[in-house]
Amino acid sequence: MSRETVVRVGLLGFGTIGSSVYRLIQKEHGQILEGTGVDLQVAKVLEIDPAKIPTDAPSSLFTNDFADIVDDPSIDIVVEVIGGTDAAFTFLDAALRNGKNVVTANKQLLAARGEALFNLARDERRHLRFEASVAGAIPIIRVMRESMIAAGLQTVYGIVNGTTNYILTRMYNGEGDYAEILAKAQELGYAEADPTADVGGADAAAKMAILGSIAFHSRVTLADVAFEGIQSITLDDVRYARDLGFVVKLIGAARLIDDQVSVRVFPALLPAGHPLASISGSHNAVFLQGNAIGEIMLMGPGAGGMPTATAVVSDIVSIANTKDVGFLQSCSCYRRLALYPAEEMESAFFIKMNVEDVSGVLAQIASVFGEHGVSIASMIQKGRGAEAELVLITHPTKERDFFAAIEQASGLKCCKSEPKTLRVL
Amino acid sequence: MSRETVVRVGLLGFGTIGSSVYRLIQKEHGQILEGTGVDLQVAKVLEIDPAKIPTDAPSSLFTNDFADIVDDPSIDIVVEVIGGTDAAFTFLDAALRNGKNVVTANKQLLAARGEALFNLARDERRHLRFEASVAGAIPIIRVMRESMIAAGLQTVYGIVNGTTNYILTRMYNGEGDYAEILAKAQELGYAEADPTADVGGADAAAKMAILGSIAFHSRVTLADVAFEGIQSITLDDVRYARDLGFVVKLIGAARLIDDQVSVRVFPALLPAGHPLASISGSHNAVFLQGNAIGEIMLMGPGAGGMPTATAVVSDIVSIANTKDVGFLQSCSCYRRLALYPAEEMESAFFIKMNVEDVSGVLAQIASVFGEHGVSIASMIQKGRGAEAELVLITHPTKERDFFAAIEQASGLKCCKSEPKTLRVL
């Protein structure tokens, strides 16, 4: 490149991601300069925990005062990797108002308070970039915002939480039940000490709110996403699903239906041949369906310091290289679509029920289902007598009708416990 | 968006892709305008075949004179989808010299004569975009150029030819031998009447030249790519591979080794669990390995009018939205790396040989291999007596040593025909 531009970065947070961003910029500085003309420099790092400050970096680089970054006119871009929705919001709000472009990896912040920040960025004519907020190194934000501009996206399915995918993969391989594998994952550092946000689905819900907003150009917040986790998935569920040719995954599903938006997160059975079924371990994947593209899938590491740092650095370089960038400077939410009513959604279901193995039990259940228009696609009965278990897969049906049928069926005398239900993709 | 920019496009060619670009712009015009502020208009179409001009488009849109496009100062962007390397080159050369930005889907042109065009685009400070030249709707060019800027890419594996993947998938499923399935694919329009460029590997080689250039920032031309096709793959090869847990795919492999570049295309055995092994039918996929990202894969439709048109339209919108775009305006080849010597490459191999089933035959062969440092990882013998077949998989070894071993082994008395060899990924 003929022209070189010095770009000075203020880094908020020096944990796993922050330190990786710093080290990646050191390592790739020459290549980025040669390839893009951007002379990338980390000017200052905000870190209040002295234990996180390494001995091999100049101590003058670090500060515990945000003012040293936001008030430094030589800093062009503020990178936020501290997490949380309070201090992070305050910092980014102040940075934008002070003329900084910002990059964030903070999905919870964007899913909860994104609109205010995006509006501010638009008003200040500054960039707000967030590739690292969803699916780590997988460049799903850029692909959806830029490459899919004419794709006519209708559906986004995501495996966007690595912890739950790791647990479900191990359960599928028969390596233990939910509690055992979660404990093992915590030991190995693949799951947090408090894993609630991951296993309960809230982490995936925040990411799907972001993906749904971009896919359909209408703001979806965390509050708009109905989510369930995997805590109640048993080894039995996974085995029965496997016997029927399915894999259980925690799926984020964002759909455009009749110009309305539905974004949900739930454990679901996928046919073993579905591209998402083969995503194993802590990998993430996003599967896009659109009128003009058919189907596209991206997969890769959904977390980790270095993979996530590549997304942050690509955002920084992109900002540095695009002085006037049209639509990328704004949020992509240029319209307001209503939420599609959950009870109108159609899904196929997996049902597991303990039944008294009496003559005609299947006929009784099928009859109740039939009254509600729910038709059965396949069935396995395990065990006999009082210990029998019935496993059913239904054809797709309105969820409202399905749950009415389940409620009625669970009142049958032959039905010995609350039926367990999971969606089938 | 507050500001609207009218962008007028001159379209060269109205075949499958050209007509799809036109129809996609008609269909998504409103969404693109709302989302990006770009008022996209197809101003003129160059098409010399009257049979291709549809009755439902204004006839004033069409011309058979390139001057009507290149000399029209109101046309901002020229889109080339006619194919070939002669007229296409002349047109794009003239368009760039006349101040137009250009978008092309022409892999053969870029792989053969890309350097001159990229240099001209740089000198004229115009964009030359080419997302549609590789892997249809899969946004691999943008992902590699922009998102992988700090990924430290080391390897690019691609399934980038849909015809061959369709044939190999059907062979794997036991639906016929090579000739039968090729004939069927031609009947269905999945293979050309003259399929040489596809089945012989030249199409994949051109695409891998482009991907290799971008991945490693050093020009790779078609002449630099050693390629083989799938014409000699038999149903037996595919079955033996399957028995050993492998899938046969036509693989493009671009690698950075000791600051040298190797780009090759060859049929190869992939372990059934490899993400690329599950890419079936006419789908394409690109698998990236890099120091900072681990592994990322993108898959989707590699051809087809509408999928390819989405890539063209995203390039148009990107040009329209980025007035000064730094590194994206230039070719990404900022250095010149040498080609890695083919004989120094290391590969594992599959070997199929007809042998006389005499006592000690395996010992004789293993001994010859051992002399050359080639070690055997697994073996199957099929049949007995004079009709026996030996199938071997080796550990990775220098290809020079491997081929020396094969030459010597084929001279053994027990070896009844030239051994068949395929690489194992």
**pLDDT (tens digit, 9 = 90+) per residue, A54-71?**
999 999 999 999 999 999
**Mean pLDDT of all residues in B147-151:** 96
Q: How confident is the model at residue A323 (pLDDT cuts 50, 70, 90)?
A: low
Strands B101-104 and B128-129: parallel
Q: How far from each other are the two terminal CA atoms of chain A, in whole angstroms? A: 49
CATH fold for the domain made of A342-424 = Alpha-Beta Plaits (3.30.70)
**Looking at beta carbons, which residues of chain B come within 8 Å of A137?**
151, 292-294, 296
Alpha-carbon distance of A37 to B387, in angstroms, equals: 64
| Residue A263: half-sphere exposure toward Cβ, Cα within 13 Å | 29
- Give yes or no for residue A35 having a pLDDT over 70: yes
For residue B305, give the nearest of A340, A2, A222, A293 by alpha carbon: A293
Residue A2 is predicted with a pLDDT of: 44
Q: Using CA coordinates, name the residue in chain B closest to A318.
A: B146
Per residue in B227-250, pLDDT (tens digit) is 999 999 999 999 999 999 999 999
Q: Considering CB atoms only, which of B143, B309, B325 is closest to A143? A: B143
- Give yes or no for residue A1 having a pLDDT over 80: no
**Mean pLDDT of all residues in A143-161:** 97
Alpha-carbon distance of A58 to A418, in angstroms, equals: 61
Whether A309 and B131 lie within 8 Å, measured CB to CB: no
- Chain B contact for A305, CB < 8 A? no
Q: Which of B36, B214, B282 to mutate to test the interface with A (most CBs of A within 10 A)?
A: B36
Q: How confident is the model at residue B324 (pLDDT cuts 50, 70, 90)?
A: low
Q: How confident is the model at residue A325 (pLDDT cuts 50, 70, 90)?
A: low
DSSP B43: E
Q: How many residues does chain A have?
A: 425
Chain A / chain B CB contacts < 8 angstroms: 207
* CA B219 to chain CA mean position, Å: 16
Per residue in A331-356, pLDDT (tens digit) is 789 999 999 999 899 999 999 999 88
Whether the CB-CB separation of A137 and B294 falls below 8 Å is answered with yes
Give the start-to-end residue ranges of the domains of chain B.
5-136+307-329, 140-302, 342-424
Q: How confident is the model at residue A328 (pLDDT cuts 50, 70, 90)?
A: confident
Asked whether the whole model's pTM tops 0.90, one would answer yes
Q: Using CA coordinates, name the residue in chain B closest to A298.
A: B298
Q: Which residue has the tokens 């712009």?
A: B25
Whether B150 and A307 lie within 8 Å, measured CB to CB: no
Alpha-carbon distance of A421 to A402, in angstroms, equals: 10
Specify whether the backbone of A38 is left (phi greater than 0), alpha (psi in -120 to 50) or beta. Answer: beta
Whether B310 and A148 lie within 8 Å, measured CB to CB: yes
Whether A147 and B34 lie within 8 Å, measured CB to CB: no
Residue B3 is predicted with a pLDDT of: 64
**Looking at beta carbons, which residues of chain A come within 8 Å of B328?**
321
Alpha-carbon distance of B301 to A411, in angstroms, equals: 48
**Mean pLDDT of all residues in A29-48:** 95
H helical segments located in A54-195: 67-70, 87-97, 107-124, 140-142, 162-172, 178-188
Whether B38 and A131 lie within 8 Å, measured CB to CB: no
Per residue in A106-130, pLDDT (tens digit) is 999 999 999 999 999 999 999 999 9
- Token pair for B303: 């051809």
* Extended strands (E) in A283-323: 283-290, 294-301
| Chain B 312-341, residues with CB within 8 Å of chain A CB atoms | 313-314, 317-318, 320-328, 330, 332, 334-335
User: Helix, strand, or coil here: A176?
Assistant: coil
Q: Across-strand partners of A7?
A: A40
H helical segments located in B12-138: 16-36, 67-70, 87-97, 107-124
Per residue in B65-111, pLDDT (tens digit) is 999 999 999 999 999 999 999 999 999 999 999 999 999 999 999 99
Q: What percent of chain A has pLDDT over 90?
A: 86
For residue A312, give the nearest of A19, A62, A112, A115 by alpha carbon: A19
Alpha-carbon distance of A146 to B38, in angstroms, equals: 13
- Amino acid identity, residue A6? V
**Looking at beta carbons, which residues of chain B come within 8 Å of A295?**
300-301
Average pLDDT value for chain B: 94
- Give yes or no for residue A324 having a pLDDT over 70: no
Whether B314 and A1 lie within 8 Å, measured CB to CB: no
| Chain B 38-77, residues with CB within 8 Å of chain A CB atoms | 38
**DSSP code string of B312-379:** HHHHHHHHHH-SS-GGGGS-S--S-PPBPPGGG-EEEEEEEEEB---TTHHHHHHHHHHHTT--EEEE
Whether B310 and A34 lie within 8 Å, measured CB to CB: no
For residue A109, give the nearest of A13, A228, A195 by alpha carbon: A13
Q: Which one of 3.40.50.970, 3.40.50.720, 3.30.360.10, 3.30.70.1520 gives the CATH number of domain A140-301?
A: 3.30.360.10
Residue A375 is predicted with a pLDDT of: 95
Alpha-carbon distance of A203 to A369, in angstroms, equals: 35
| Residue A168: half-sphere exposure toward Cβ, Cα within 13 Å | 35
Q: Which of B44, B100, B207, B352 is catalytic?
A: B207
User: What are the backbone dihedrals phi and psi of residue A78, each rounded to the nearest 5 degrees, phi first?
Assistant: -105, 125
Neighbours of B375 (CB within 10 A): 13
Per residue in B282-317, pLDDT (tens digit) is 999 999 999 999 999 999 999 899 999 999 999 999
Whether B295 and A298 lie within 8 Å, measured CB to CB: no
Q: How confident is the model at residue B4 (pLDDT cuts 50, 70, 90)?
A: confident
Q: What percent of chain B has pLDDT over 70?
A: 98
- Token pair for B87: 């007229």
**Mean pLDDT of all residues in B404-419:** 91
DSSP A136: T
- Chain A contact for B214, CB < 8 A? no
**Looking at beta carbons, which residues of chain A come within 8 Å of B2?**
none
Neighbours of B121 (CB within 10 A): 21
Q: How confident is the model at residue A3 (pLDDT cuts 50, 70, 90)?
A: low
- Give yes or no for residue A228 having a pLDDT over 90: yes
Residue B189 is predicted with a pLDDT of: 85
User: Helix, strand, or coil here: B260?
Assistant: strand
Q: What percent of chain A has pLDDT over 70?
A: 98
Q: Which of A44, A100, A207, A352 is catalytic?
A: A207
Residue B325 is predicted with a pLDDT of: 59
Q: Using CA coordinates, name the residue in chain B closest to A5.
A: B326
**H or E stretch covering A34:** helix A16-36
Q: Using CA coordinates, name the residue in chain B closest to A26.
A: B150
Alpha-carbon distance of B235 to B261, in angstroms, equals: 33
- Token pair for A370: 């039939």
- Give yes or no for residue B1 having a pLDDT over 50: no
Whether the CB-CB separation of B302 and B282 falls below 8 Å is answered with yes
**H or E stretch covering B183:** helix B178-188
Residue A388 is predicted with a pLDDT of: 86
For residue A390, give the nearest of A422, A408, A416 by alpha carbon: A416
Alpha-carbon distance of A30 to A37, in angstroms, equals: 10
Per residue in B185-198, pLDDT (tens digit) is 999 888 999 999 99
Whether B314 and A28 lie within 8 Å, measured CB to CB: no
**Looking at beta carbons, which residues of chain A come within 8 Å of B290?**
310
- Token pair for B33: 């305008």
Whether A1 and B334 lie within 8 Å, measured CB to CB: yes
**H or E stretch covering B197:** helix B196-199
Could you tell me the CATH superfamily of domain B5-136+307-329?
A: NAD(P)-binding Rossmann-like Domain (3.40.50.720)
B207 is catalytic: yes
- Chain A contact for B286, CB < 8 A? no
Q: Which one of 3.60.10.10, 1.10.1510.10, 3.40.1180.10, 3.30.360.10 gives the CATH number of domain B140-302?
A: 3.30.360.10
Q: Across-strand partners of B45?
A: B11, B62
DSSP B280: -
| Chain B 8-37, residues with CB within 8 Å of chain A CB atoms | 24-25, 27-28, 31-32, 34-37
Whether B327 and A36 lie within 8 Å, measured CB to CB: yes
For residue A326, give the nearest of A146, A177, A205, A192 by alpha carbon: A146
Helices (H) and strands (E) in chain B, counts: 13, 17
